[in-house]
Structure 1
Amino acid sequence: MSLRQFEYALTIAEQGSVTAAAEVLRVAQPSVSQQIRGLERDLGVELFSRTPTGLVPTVAGRAFLREAQIAVSAARRARATARAGADELVGELVVAVQMGLGTRQLPGALGALRRRFPRLEVTVFEEPNPTELERLARGGVIDLGLMAGPCEGGLYDGHHLGDEEFVVVLAAGHPLLAADRVELQELGREPWVRFDHNSALDGVLVDVLRDNGLAPTTVARVSQTATAVRWAAHGLGVTFVPASAVPPGHEHVARPVTPVVSQPVVAAVRPGAGPAETALLEFLRQETWHRSAPGWVTPPSTAGSAPVV
Structure 2
Amino acid sequence: MSLRQFEYALAVAEEGSVTAAAEVLHVAQPSVSQQIRGLERELGVKLFARTPTGLVPTVVGRAFLREAEVAVSAARRARATARAGADELVGELVVAAQMGFGTRQLPRALGALRRRFPRVEVTVFEEPSSAELERLGRQGVLDLALMAACEQSPDDAHHLGDEEFVVVLGAGHPQLATERVELRALAGEPWVRFDRDSALDAVLLDVLGSNELTPTTAARVSQTSTAVRWAAQGLGVTLVPASAVPHGHEHLVRPVNPVVSQPVIAVVRTDPGPAESALLEFLRRQTWTEAASFPPVR
Shorter-chain TM-score tier: over 0.9
Q: Is the 8 A contact 1:10 1:65 kept in 2?
A: yes
Q: Is the 8 A contact 1:150 1:158 kept in 2?
A: no
Q: Is the 8 A contact 1:47 1:57 kept in 2?
A: yes
- Give the Cα–Cα distance (whole angstroms) in 2 for the partners of residues 114 and 247 of structure 1: 23
- Give the Cα–Cα distance (whole angstroms) in 1 for the partners of residues 217 and 45 of structure 2: 43
- Give the Cα–Cα distance (whole angstroms) in 2 for the partners of residues 125 and 204 of structure 1: 22
State the match for 2:130 in structure 1: 130
In the alignment, structure 2 segments of 5+ residues that lack a partner are none
C-alpha displacement at 1:33, in angstroms?
A: 1.3
Q: Is the 8 A contact 2:89 2:119 kept in 1?
A: yes
- Going from structure 1 to structure 2, the CA distance change for 1:179 and 1:75 (only over 3 Å counts) comes to same
In the alignment, structure 1 segments of 5+ residues that lack a partner are 297-309
Which TM-score applies when normalising by structure 1?
Answer: 0.89
State the match for 1:141 in structure 2: 141
- Going from structure 1 to structure 2, the CA distance change for 1:151 and 1:62 (only over 3 Å counts) comes to farther
Matches within 5 A, 1:95-106: 95-106=95-106
State the match for 1:304 in structure 2: none
State the match for 1:270 in structure 2: 269
Q: Does 1:86 align with 2:86?
A: yes
State the match for 1:252 in structure 2: 251
The 10-residue stretch of structure 1 (286-295 or 109-118) with the greater mean CA deviation from structure 2: 286-295
State the match for 1:40 in structure 2: 40
Q: Does 1:241 align with 2:272?
A: no
- Give the Cα–Cα distance (whole angstroms) in 2 for the partners of residues 281 and 80 of structure 1: 19
Matches within 5 A, 1:167-246: 167-246=166-245
- What amino acid maps onto 2:191 in structure 1? W
- Going from structure 1 to structure 2, the CA distance change for 1:150 and 1:277 (only over 3 Å counts) comes to farther
- What amino acid maps onto 1:51 in structure 2? T
SS in 2 for 1:230: helix
Q: Is the 8 A contact 1:182 1:255 kept in 2?
A: yes
- Quote the sequence identity (%): 77
- What amino acid maps onto 2:139 in structure 1? G
State the match for 1:159 in structure 2: 158
SS in 1 for 2:293: coil
Task: Say how many residue pairs are matched.
Answer: 295
- Give the Cα–Cα distance (whole angstroms) in 2 for the partners of residues 88 and 240 of structure 1: 42
- Give the Cα–Cα distance (whole angstroms) in 2 for the partners of residues 269 and 247 of structure 1: 28
Q: Is the 8 A contact 2:192 2:235 kept in 1?
A: yes
State the match for 2:29 in structure 1: 29
State the match for 1:290 in structure 2: 289
C-alpha displacement at 1:196, in angstroms?
A: 2.3
State the match for 1:108 in structure 2: 108
- Going from structure 1 to structure 2, the CA distance change for 1:238 and 1:39 (only over 3 Å counts) comes to same
- Give the Cα–Cα distance (whole angstroms) in 2 for the partners of residues 295 and 115 of structure 1: 32
Which TM-score applies when normalising by structure 2?
Answer: 0.93
- Going from structure 1 to structure 2, the CA distance change for 1:17 and 1:197 (only over 3 Å counts) comes to farther
Q: Is the 8 A contact 2:250 2:294 kept in 1?
A: no
- Give the Cα–Cα distance (whole angstroms) in 1 for the partners of residues 233 and 158 of structure 2: 38
The 10-residue stretch of structure 1 (56-65 or 142-151) with the greater mean CA deviation from structure 2: 142-151
- Give the Cα–Cα distance (whole angstroms) in 1 for the partners of residues 12 and 209 of structure 2: 44
- Give the Cα–Cα distance (whole angstroms) in 2 for the partners of residues 252 and 202 of structure 1: 23
Q: Is the 8 A contact 2:96 2:128 kept in 1?
A: no
